[in-house]
Amino acid sequence: MYESILIISVIIISILFAAWVYSEKKLDGKFSKTISTVSFPFPLLALYAVFKLNISFGYILVGLTLVSLAIWIISRRTDLVNLQKEARSFFLILLGITIFRSFIYEPFQIPTESMIPQIQVGDFLVVDKFSYGLKNPVGKSTWFETREPNKGEMVAFIPEHTICSSPIENAYPEKNFDSSQEYLWQRYSEACTPLGLTFVKRLIAKEGDEVIYRNKELIVNGEKLKREFLSSNDDEVYLKEFYQDKSYTIRLLQNYRNQLTYGAERKWVVPKDYYFVMGDNRDNSADSRSWGFVPKQNVVGKPAFIWMHWECLTCLPSFSRNKFLN
């Protein structure tokens, strides 16, 4: 559905742009204002589809910036003065947005329940891109690092299983995965994209740390994380979990047990230059327990705050959930 919305929106925008150029060139701008008015909603629809498809917005912004620059340069060699003004304006606006989004803050939309209760499906987050360093806007490389993420912090990252060309060894560099982990990798990789998808989880452990998950209890380097009861009902329990200088709310399901969350002890040792992450919705989160470790270079930034909630295309956006994230 969202792929169709994006493709149709791009096609319509291209046709309307060609019509605008024709109006300016052949008809003295007779229909230019009308075309501009009609075209207004289609970039918004395309933007919404981009968020829902979790496409890397960095590549799109850089591409649009280069396109607007090319149009501006071409228009300077023609007699379309209005096109030159519009292209120049778009280029400067897009350049500013690209710099802001690539190096300062970037918006993301949350499509899953893995970080409930703090983050809900349909929340739009702003991620602080400069918290951990300055990154290449169209790649994973870090130009310079300011600090590493702290344990207990939320992090935005691209897990390896969401990149179609990535082998399982990229998430298990020591090749210590078993048949069940290989099966889960193949299952979760079915939703991959060429550039990968951005996830938000909580950082639990860094290189060299030992993580044990036993009967829904979390133990890091031999110390069980302290928890405090908050509330419960027939279906779920909410607990406050304390980890170093952080405290946050986690959710457990009352009558839900599977190999991932309950029963036999599971243990991991985090490899060099990797992280171990988990969702706060512990019984309903696909994370490092199921698809492996996160390479350090795949971290995008630190989720800072919720700026909007927009759950569906026919729903009205809401700002009632706006808040800073812990």
Per-residue pLDDT tens, the chain, 326 aa: give them: 778 888 899 899 889 888 877 887 778 778 888 988 898 888 888 878 877 776 666 777 787 888 889 888 878 876 777 778 878 888 888 888 888 877 778 888 877 899 999 999 889 999 998 888 877 776 667 787 888 999 999 999 999 999 989 999 999 999 888 888 898 899 999 888 877 888 999 999 999 999 999 889 999 999 999 999 999 999 999 999 999 989 999 999 987 766 555 556 889 999 999 999 999 999 999 999 999 999 999 998 999 999 898 887 788 888 888 898 87
| pLDDT tens, residue by residue, 133-178 | 877 776 667 787 888 999 999 999 999 999 989 999 999 999 888 8
pLDDT the model gives residue 261: 53
pLDDT the model gives residue 50: 75
What's the pTM? Answer: 0.76
Residues 6 or more apart whose CB falls under 8 angstroms from that of 196 comprise 56, 158, 159, 160, 162, 163, 166, 298
Rounded CA separation 302/262 (Å): 30
Rounded CA separation 129/131 (Å): 6
Q: Where are the domains of the chain?
A: 2-104, 152-300
Bridge partners of residue 126, in order along the sequence: 107, 305
| pLDDT tens, residue by residue, 49-80 | 877 776 666 777 787 888 889 888 878 876 77
- Strand 236-243 to 246-253 pairing: antiparallel
Residues 6 or more apart whose CB falls under 8 angstroms from that of 157 comprise 198, 199, 201, 275, 277, 294, 298, 299, 300
Q: Which of 16, 53, 18, 22 is nearest to 36 (CA)?
A: 16
Verify cis geometry, omega within 30 degrees of 0, for the bond prior to 295: no
Class of domain 152-300: mainly beta
